[in-house]
Chains A and B, each alone.
Chain A
């Protein structure tokens, strides 16, 4: 094989980063060409990374040829590949959307000039997070993607967006410091920053527990878990729509991903059951609180943002279930693990579709009040369909991908006798029906509304594609389970074959 193609994972980080530098230095000159090149590069590298993973099994890439613990090592396994797939799908779609979203007015051109470099840096940083297995490198990549994300929110000049992003920035920086302090303690105790080396050396002890607790606090703030979620709704709801989609679908998943990685290899040794239950309880509170707030909102994007708060809750219900599996039947752990990852994926696709559809609505009628949606079902059928299909996944109805996620989590909690989580998840599903039908009811009202601007077809098509994808992933769970099995940690991988 040609050497270029042997290390496709490196291109995932390099191509968007170089795209960012180019769109920054040359502004609008040849922008469409650069964007197309970056998108093609992302698509090809993602496909090649998958091919390599399927052919060779899980593999690592020692950067600079320096083996850990001296150097930084990337670990590519099924979980990393699943997150990369999500990032590539959502990333390419959002980019296609953004090409139409920013119009030709001077103000929009100004936004576009800064959107593209920041957006490509964000993508590069996300790929870097999903590839690496070095706890300090995660700090750097979190800052890279975090700073780019805040910069993207403030492209909207609304005062609420500025206040929201200032809050987000302060929380994110403080969260990073908690995480970094934990990293420093782990390094002090074990003399390594490499996750695999740490996993081999880690022992129960007070320093280890404090370090992991600090890192956990930092990461749940980044993942916007209740009660550290308060920055999310104003920031996500007031950002430009493609940015809202990226934040909800991808950025909050980064914190969750790192926590999951730490959890899977370090926690089986040191974790106490109560910590896991605590995370689950916060997740449950997030589901109930987020859904209740979503029902109360009168603006579409705020409603979607509160729905994100709720859907993040499901991700954290995974942790007590994993723990129950380690203590009892490992099958439960496999269920919980697959369900959690499925939830991350299905929420990413569905939520991106919803936010992009909301962007189309704003483009068409000028604002996102729920009441402005009346009668739009007839005027914007594609967008209304996108909202409906994405909602299927969020509500957890088959054949949405969210159904499989919630079904797996429910099975794990019922099988392990932890009924409480099941009740909360079912309630959350019902409340999701509640807040989404507030949207659908208005869309289906018969009313002759004037559409101010006919939105570009491509914007509608992108939102619809993402919504359809969220269903496609729900049609068959087999491919994702097959993927997750590749290099799955022993703590969860036992029964992945046996899953439906």
Chain B
């Protein structure tokens, strides 16, 4: 087993764990943490793939940088939205708000 596959396998396992957490954790903050674990997994796989061959491939590195900026932006917005949601509905989960349809 090469170094590449060790990192690659770790990457996909992180991805699976993250998505699992996203679906099974009710707390929004835990959902967001799970999502970030999943994206870290995908990024790790990318970096591992860049390591193959006799030459380091700069393209996946650039893609990971782009991915990180996007992930930071989306996470920041999601945290703000979760905080707003808790303020309005009083619950840090996706439970339907107690107010009913008009």
Contacts and interface: CB of A to CB of B under 8 A. Distances in A.
Interface of A: 136, 139-140, 143, 147, 150-151, 154, 157, 159-160, 162-163, 165-167, 169-170, 173-174, 177, 180-181, 184, 187-188, 193, 298-299, 367, 369
A496 to B, nearest CB: 36
Nearest to B23: A174
A162 B81 contact: yes
A177 B89 contact: no
B88 A174 contact: no
A64 B74 CA distance: 28
A174 B19 contact: yes
Given A136-B63, A165-B81, A177 B73 contact: no
B54 interface: no
Contact of B22 (A139, A159, A160, A170): A170
Interface in B76-102: 77-78, 81-82, 84-85, 88-89, 94, 96-97, 99, 101-102
B78 A173 contact: yes
B53 to A, nearest CB: 9
29 contacts: A139-B67, A147-B77, A150-B77, A150-B81, A157-B88, A159-B85, A159-B99, A162-B84, A162-B85, A162-B89, A163-B94, A163-B96, A163-B97, A166-B82, A169-B77, A170-B35, A173-B78, A174-B35, A177-B15, A177-B19, A180-B42, A180-B67, A181-B15, A181-B45, A184-B45, A187-B49, A187-B60, A193-B59, A367-B102
Nearest to B66: A140
Contact of A299 (B39, B63, B101): B101
A234 to B, nearest CB: 9
A294 B94 CA distance: 23
Contacts of A160: 96-97, 99
A157 B71 CA distance: 25
Given A154-B81, A174-B35, 7 more contacts: A147-B73, A150-B77, A162-B88, A163-B97, A169-B78, A169-B81, A170-B78
Contacts of A299: 101-102
B88 A177 contact: no
A169 B75 CA distance: 10
A181 B31 CA distance: 19
B89 A174 contact: no
Nearest to A169: B78
A170 B79 CA distance: 11
A174 to B, nearest CB: 6
Nearest to B36: A173
B85 A166 contact: yes
Given A169-B78, A174-B35, A177-B42, A159 B88 contact: yes
B22 A174 contact: yes
Task: In the A-B complex, list the 8 residue pairs whose CB atoms are closest, starting with the nearest.
Answer: A159-B97, A188-B49, A143-B70, A162-B85, A181-B42, A159-B88, A184-B46, A177-B38
A193 B84 CA distance: 38
Nearest to A302: B101
- Candidate in A157, A181, A299 with the most chain B CB atoms within 10 angstroms: A181
A169 B49 CA distance: 29
B15 A167 contact: no
A166 B12 CA distance: 25
A184 B66 contact: no
Given A174-B22, A184-B45, A159 B102 contact: no
A267 to B, nearest CB: 23
A166 B59 CA distance: 33
Nearest to A157: B88
A299 B102 CA distance: 9
B29 to A, nearest CB: 12
Nearest to A154: B81
Interface string B3-31: 00000000010010011001000001001
B102 to A, nearest CB: 5
Contacts of A181: 12, 15, 42, 45
A159 B89 contact: yes
Contacts of A143: 70, 74
A147 B74 CA distance: 7
A163 B70 contact: no
B39 A177 contact: yes
A163 B86 CA distance: 10
A188 B59 CA distance: 11
B28 A140 contact: no
A184 B8 CA distance: 11
Contacts of A174: 19, 22, 35, 38
B47 to A, nearest CB: 10
Contacts of A157: 88
Interface string B42-68: 100110010010000001100100110
B5 to A, nearest CB: 11
